Chains A and B, each alone.
Chain A
């Protein structure tokens, strides 16, 4: 078992003929993800890699190929419409990898997506992988191992670093999910924590946060009130100066709020094991899991 992506995932790749879309579609197919369709307007009727049907619209990909999940690799200026198209077509999970989408566009798109009963992961995220089952996005599969640790993160490569440490130590993952570095995102830490808590295959959770906003503080409160499984956490940006955006649009300390120190304190107070550096993830998890 796992969360969000699994053996039931039937994936349509929006932007399958683009540079990033085609590269990652191949990677996902090699991993064993059921890539059932691609969408590129004007290329309907063609085949990707000789076997995956390409459609002009997501609606056709749903009707004819039975897609239930979509991953989006289209450029930023087309990405919001791609999200809304997937929601209109009845896709239940949309993973948007694209970065650079204006925040106000997401503010308008999210209620639209949610009203249609659809979950969005991202944008500006690496996607999700349930090792041994399915991969949707760009997380390098070779660093993951099947297992019982849930990983949720706002970052990309920092997640890989921590997953790599877990796998090397024999701690496999149920699902690794990157929720994205933008200020407005479709799936929060809390959504993932709740899903991990409910997932029988997940024994413990690693939460990887960073400076900016208060999502980690809210996650900490949720863990304290609702979770029985052990959680350990890491917050990036302890040395970040206030007022400067550190790469991610969401990673900015404004005034006195959003600092790493504040977030680490909130995690600690909620009983979450806090790492001072990524390499502490394995010993800390082992301690919390009692093995």
Chain B
């Protein structure tokens, strides 16, 4: 789960990291009032879960409270990568002497948390990694000890020469590591980690991604989820226990298992079609999940044909068949259905579908070919 910048900076601040004041507002009038309280000259930042906010025009400088109101009016309601901006963060426009980067991820290769810093801050760190990898410094942390003081100092020396700044940055890194662990994060970033002309070290932006598997035991973090900022059909899918991602194609896919779901989408493309979604109904699928899945797929008006690809293991094919019959009994489908089922209880599933007037295939390629052909016919 992604946190908004204003949520992430609140966590950083609570951990003692120096973060400038700021206010989250939802109207231009509030932005103006906030700017007045923050000293007049401010930056207005769109709060959406999308990278490249600046390039999309979602981050603007305002020289006065009146201008803050105008810029907030520009940004509120604008769409960035399909997401409507409903909140903006108003922060004082800080004078910056230097911009660095600090971040922590769980590194798959070393299987440890890795703390990274770079003196080349303020720009996308992946760009730095691609162009000037020698400007990124890393330390793999033994999770049983945490980030050790000498490791934090070692990294901080890569950023600053002045010992006061080095100490300040090292303290920030240790605090950042604590935020990372306490929030159950898979990524936390400060970019830029800035210095001001008078020598202070400050976190000017914050990004935090929480491991979804941590949310059950961290209700205070789970409560930060902003349903408004996610596609409504993805919220519905999650509530139904499904994993769904909308794409732009016309072949609606309903599959059990993430790997097979991706392979099914790939095969749709291979045969000249475009998948409309990723949808994994998960392991032990009950008929209700299938009903919810069909509702979500059919709500997408781009979908011209619905393809089921089920390989029964824990998932029983007859459960899926019952779900299909139940869902289509309630609201008859206005689009064709291609069903492929094989594995556990395949025969019962075929019998259930047959009685309801459906046919089922057993071969994945054949099913995908048929679905793609139907999508093209209905173009």
Contacts and interface: CB of A to CB of B under 8 A. Distances in A.
Interface stretch (A60-68, A195-203, A223-231, A275-283): A275-283
B256 interface: yes
Interface residues of A, number: 61
Interface string B352-373: 0000000000001100000000
Given A104-B106, A241-B247, A277-B267, A184 B111 contact: yes
Interface stretch (A2-10, A34-42, A208-216, A266-274): A208-216
Contacts of B245: 241, 244, 246
Interface in A129-178: 138-140, 143, 153-161, 164
A246 B262 contact: yes
A103 interface: yes
A249 B211 contact: yes
Contact of B259 (A101, A154, A244): A154
A247 interface: yes
Nearest to A165: B364
B38 interface: no
B133 interface: no
Q: Is the interface of B mostly helix, strand, loop or mixed?
A: mixed
Interface string B237-276: 0000001010100000001111111110111111000010
Contacts, number: 165
A61 B365 CA distance: 46
Contact of A246 (B113, B267, B270, B278): B278
Given A161-B263, A210-B259, A247 B278 contact: yes
A139 B313 contact: yes
B342 interface: yes
A102 interface: yes
Which residue among A20, A108, A110, A158 has the maximum number of chain B CB atoms within 10 Å of its CB?
Answer: A158
Nearest to A153: B259
Interface stretch (B13-21, B86-94, B212-220, B326-334): B212-220
Contact of B130 (A254, A256, A279): A256
A146 B364 CA distance: 24
B113 A278 contact: no
B101 interface: no
A286 interface: no
A236 B259 contact: yes
B63 interface: no
Contacts of B184: 102, 104
Which residue among A138, A161, A208 has the maximum number of chain B CB atoms within 10 Å of its CB?
Answer: A161
Interface in A238-255: 238-241, 243-244, 246-251, 254-255
Given A103-B213, A184-B106, A249-B213, A240 B262 contact: yes
Interface in B281-296: 283-284
B106 A107 contact: yes
B108 interface: yes
B263 to A, nearest CB: 4
B222 to A, nearest CB: 13
Contacts of B111: 106-107, 110, 184
A111 interface: yes
Nearest to B280: A247
Interface in B78-99: none
Nearest to B366: A279
Interface of A: 20, 76-77, 100-104, 106-108, 110-111, 126, 138-140, 143, 153-161, 164, 181, 183-184, 208, 210-211, 213-215, 218, 234, 236-241, 243-244, 246-251, 254-256, 260, 276-279
Given A103-B106, A277-B267, 6 more contacts: A103-B211, A140-B312, A156-B257, A181-B258, A183-B186, A238-B269
Q: Which A-B residue pairs are the 9 nearest by beta carbons?
A: A155-B259, A247-B258, A157-B257, A158-B259, A255-B126, A236-B262, A157-B260, A237-B262, A158-B260
